[in-house]
Amino acid sequence: MEKNMERGNNVKELNDYLDYLKYQKNYSDYTILSYENDIKEYLDFISSEGILFKEIEYSDIRFYLMYLKEKRKDNNSSIDRKLSSLRGFYKYMANEGIVKNNVFSLVSGPKKSKKLPRYFEYNELEEMFKVPDESPLGQRDLLLLEMLYATGCRVGELVSIKVSDIDLARKQILILGKGNKERYVSYGEYCEDALKKYLSDGYPTLNKDNLDYLFLNNKGGQLTERGVRYLLDHIIKQTGINKNISPHMIRHSFATHLLNEGCDLLTVQKLLGHESIKATQIYTHVTTDRLKEVYFHSFPRAKKDD
């Protein structure tokens, strides 16, 4: 009986936490779903082991980590993400007075190898830009590609853009980022041309319900993050590019190409909307080859004269 009551309380606490992430932290639906899946998996485990939610101890967490590593065969990156989800969950519980302390704050994740961000070469992006046709949906798709690359926006930020957020005269867009923080991003002439054509032609055709959202689906509703992923998969299949892609790759391309062309790291940080410079520093590894190329081309004693 006690165990069943505990499980019922878990559902309430989890739902309250998910509401907190959505309405106070302004996390995307995709991120919240990831947190929910991680936490539910953990709750199922402790329930099967007869461990009470509010009485979790450090030793119990060690058993959970063994379960993830040895039985589920999760890799280090996946385990680290799940620990992060649970760390945030228990921090919320501790702040609400539901548990005495955040026992997960004592647990460090397994060491994981740093993955360099995958990105497109400029010629690959050019190939993608040539795919959309002149139809209303094709105009939308071209603008989506151009705006993702021109601004470096996250997909969640992109689908939330409203026409009223765009300053056409200054070629700027007001973006609502993580943590409800606002920033302005700029866009160039290619994106401007695609935007003007879409607003004057494709957008009025798609906008059957007079919405203010910029990116609409074929039924006239707001385009979702999942919809963007589907569109990009569809576009990439019509090119000769042999890569498993994600929308974030265009954001990575934006940052990498800026640094390759000499943009400083602090500026890229602001453009990406990163809170910490550490999140931006990963792109410096990607540009190492470019630095070597510039060195050997520019330094007087890098090469001997024949």
- 256: Cβ contacts below 8 Å, ≥ 6 apart: 117, 119, 283, 286, 287
pTM: 0.60
Active site residue 285: no
Query: Residue 5: its pLDDT value, please?
Result: 36
Active site residue 27: no
Query: Residue 74: its pLDDT value, please?
Result: 85
Task: Name the catalytic one among 178, 183, 229, 290.
Answer: 178
pLDDT digits (tens, 9 = 90+) for 261-281: 878 888 888 888 887 887 787
Query: Residue 304: its pLDDT value, please?
Result: 67
Question: Rounded to whole angstroms, what are the CA distances from 2 to 5, 47, 101, 186, 249?
Answer: 5, 11, 22, 57, 48
Active site residue 178: yes
Query: Residue 55: its pLDDT value, please?
Result: 80
pLDDT digits (tens, 9 = 90+) for 183-239: 999 999 999 999 999 999 999 999 999 999 999 999 999 999 999 999 999 999 999
> Using an 8 Å Cβ cutoff, are 119 and 253 in contact?
yes
SS3 234: helix
Task: Name the catalytic one among 7, 171, 197, 248.
Answer: 248
Report d(CA 64, CA 59) in Å as an integer: 9
Task: Name the catalytic one among 69, 81, 274, 290.
Answer: 274
Query: Residue 292: its pLDDT value, please?
Result: 67
Break the chain into its structural domains and give their ranges: 2-106, 122-292
User: Which residue numbers in the chain have pLDDT < 70?
Assistant: 1-10, 109-116, 285-295, 297-302, 304-306
In this chain, the answer to whether the domains covering 2-106 and 122-292 adopt an identical fold is no
H helices present in 180-247, as ranges: 189-197, 203-206, 225-236
Average pLDDT, the chain: 85
Query: Residue 306: its pLDDT value, please?
Result: 56
Asked: is 2-106 a CATH 1.10.150.130 domain? The reply is yes
Query: Residue 151: its pLDDT value, please?
Result: 92
Query: Residue 191: its pLDDT value, please?
Result: 95
97: left (phi over 0), alpha (psi -120 to 50) or beta: left
Active site residue 290: no
CATH architecture of 122-292: Orthogonal Bundle (1.10)
Query: Residue 290: its pLDDT value, please?
Result: 60
- The residues facing 270 across adjacent strands are none
